[in-house]
A and B are shown apart, each in its own frame.
Chain A
Amino acid sequence: MKKGTYSSWGMYPYYPQIAHDCMWRDELTTKLKGMVEIHGSTLAYGNGRSYGDSCFAHSDNVLSTRCLNKIILADWETGKIICESGITFEEIIDIALPKGWFLPVTPGTKFVTLGGAIANDIHGKNHHHKGTFGCHIKQFCLIRADQKELICSNQKNTSLFQATIGGLGLTGIIKWAEIQLIPVNSSEIESTAIRFDSLEEFFTISKELDTQYEYSATWIDCLAKNNSIGKGIYFAGNHTKKNTLEIKTKKNKTLPFTLPISAVNSLTLRAFNYLYFRKHKTGRKNILMPYDKFFYPLDGVLHWNRIYGKKGFQQYQCIIPEKNAYNGIKTILKLISDHKCGSFLAVLKRCGDIPSPGLLSFPMPGISLALDFPQNNKLVALFSKLDEIVRETQGRLYPAKDAHMTGSDFRLSYPSWEKVEALRDPALNSRFWKRVTD
């Protein structure tokens, strides 16, 4: 219900969004029509955990769904739940986990909404086993300004179902969705961490161990050079069979204000990476971890994005198809380490081959790399070099994280974009879409 303006997680680019709340799901249609009359077009805004401009309305007036956070129906025997689209993953876990159910797929933060997770067809550490979030959606209800409500599923209104999963909020406002949760015995994860010294090793380890672990992701030191390029720590885990279904409530720390300038520079970064790498001894380490420490280590500090200062930051996330992955990632990492200012968090993840129903889904079989950069003018040159490699290796960038990709790169790497454009609700448009399709 908070008034005022919204930004995105990266705080870049700067287009303050005026938020219009909707308190009750039955008021969505009227609200949408009213906004379109006044502002021409709008866009749903979940919890603003996208980094760039994909959650910005072209009119800068967004329809906020955060107050729509009720469960409509839950069957705790089968793990099927129907929720309003503004409910967050945190809220779902708090209710479902004590009853023995967990999300089928979760991103690296639990502060995303159900609607946002569908619109970006998010993937998690278990992409190689479970595919994207969209693979677990049974059905949803879509509101379009020009029509009545539509129920969409694999059987009904199929083309809208496929266009909406990963559809960047452009095909309608999702009112509610039904998801299939997965049964778990415990709120803890049996996890393992393996330190390794080069990119080659990453490829061997992930090939061998991804089959044994439901979840995996890898932190790498983006400042490492030469033979050490790609050194890092491989983290993997499975839900344990032990019976402990409790949720520990721990108070989150919060960064209360935005720093005037970025605290992330090559000096702090080098120190962090050195210490983080050293903290993990060589060889394998197995430990039992609470689920939130394993899945959401960053959520422990609320608003950590503020350490990047007022200028904000950009995330660069690309995926390179398996056949070109080694060379592609190696070249990219080399360019980044030469640039000297990567991020605390550089993550590699091998994605699997389970297809998503979504037309604009980001993952493909291959390796995804994500890293954050404090915003500055030098990024333009670096990103354009990186984009070239991604293009040559037939990879693509993730719209949920993007504030820079060119229209031609987008249209080349997401050939289905025209199908989505054809099904777009004319009342909805985003800054991102305008940027890449105009």
Chain B
Amino acid sequence: MKKIVILGAMSTIAIACTRLWANKECEFILIARNKDKLSQIADDLTARGSIVHIKTSDFSDYSKHETLSKECFEKVGNIDILLTAYGTLPDQIECEKNTDIALQEFHTNGLSVISLLNHFAMRMEKQDTVSGTISGTIAVISSVAGDRGRASNYLYGAAKSAVSTYCSGLRARLSRTGIHVLTIKPGFVDTQMTQHLTLPEKLTASPEQVAHDISGAITSKKDVLYTRWFWRYIMLIIVIIPNRIFKKMKF
């Protein structure tokens, strides 16, 4: 039975992932802020045949991260999949005017993720498995926005870029232990986070499609996943646009 820990279990993308995984028997630890909603998700997964534990935590509080990771390992022994899926979409204009808010957003989307990953990685690289070899996946939802800072959301982009770079280093380090690190870079996804935005329909994925891609990338031990696949090519182009043109673009 797969043991799966989700940081930010109420994210729309995370919910779609857990449902997909729950097709086979799994043991979940779901962590998020809102207890009531968390138990609704837990009831649903339990009815589908999984074992579910829930914990409430606000990830912006670093002081809890060590205990949190310790408790997870105590509960399930070792972890097959760790998925970090929480995040906020900051109001860029607000961040430009108010440095406290800017730093708070960077803190949530960047630093707190790095802090949690640091704690979990330390334990995962030492975890014993039945077969005697170390295995497991650390899957981290970053974003295509981290590939290049754009005027319209570079604060979010900067935080995601920090996470992607951290994951790249972590992957290299852990590759020697057998732990697989997957960086997930979604483009537009139709979720709670983007409810207030009008996204281009043809470029927008459903949470279920993204979950399907994530699950496939974990199985095939992919390093970096663009989801949907065409974002790899869109970003390839965006990254090579010369600055003299890029800085004039309005997006």
A25 touches B12 (CB 8 A): no
The CA-CA distance from A70 to B16 in the complex, in Å, is 12
Given A3-B198, A99-B49, the answer on whether A23 and B44 have CB atoms closer than 8 Å is no
Tell me, in angstroms, the Cα distance from A72 to B43 when the chains sit together: 6
Choice from B36, B47, B191, B192 contacting A71 with Cβ under 8 Å: B47
Q: Mark A212-240, 1 if CB is under 8 A from B, else 0.
A: 00000000000000000000000000000
Which residues of B have CB within 8 Å of A99? 49
- Is residue A81 within 8 Å, beta carbon to beta carbon, of the partner chain? yes
Are B190 and A2 in contact (CB-based, < 8 A)?
Answer: yes
A73 contacts B by Cβ under 8 Å? yes
Within 8 A of B (CB), among A89-115: 94-95, 99
Main secondary structure of the interface of A (DSSP, over half): mixed
We find that the number of chain B residues with CB closer than 8 angstroms to chain A is 18
Question: In the assembled complex, which residues on chain A have CB atoms less than 8 Å from the CB atom of B41?
Answer: 70
Q: How many residues of A contact B (CB 8 A)?
A: 18
> Looking across the interface, which residue of chain A has its beta carbon closest to that of B192?
A23
Contacts A1-B12, A24-B37; is A71 near B48 (CB within 8 Å)? yes
Most chain B CB neighbours (cut-off 10 Å) among A24, A70, A74: A70
Chain B minimum-CB-distance residue to A247? B23
Given A26-B36, A70-B41: A1 in contact with B190 (beta carbons within 8 A) = yes
Given the contacts A71-B47, A71-B48, A25 and B198 also touching, CB distance less than 8 Å? no
Contact with A along B187-219 (1 / 0, CB 8 A): 000111001001001000001000000000000
**B220 at the A/B interface (Cβ < 8 Å)?**
no
Question: What sequence of 0s and 1s flags, for each residue 14-42 of chain A, a beta carbon within 8 Å of any chain B beta carbon?
Answer: 00000001011110000000000000000
Contact A74 B12, beta carbon cutoff 8 Å: no
Question: Interface on A for B, CB 8 Å cutoff?
Answer: 1-4, 21, 23-26, 70-74, 81, 94-95, 99
Q: List 24 A-B contacts (CB under 8 A).
A: A1-B12, A1-B190, A1-B192, A1-B195, A1-B207, A3-B190, A4-B201, A24-B37, A24-B40, A25-B40, A70-B40, A70-B43, A70-B44, A71-B43, A71-B44, A71-B47, A71-B48, A72-B40, A72-B43, A72-B44, A73-B47, A74-B47, A94-B23, A95-B48
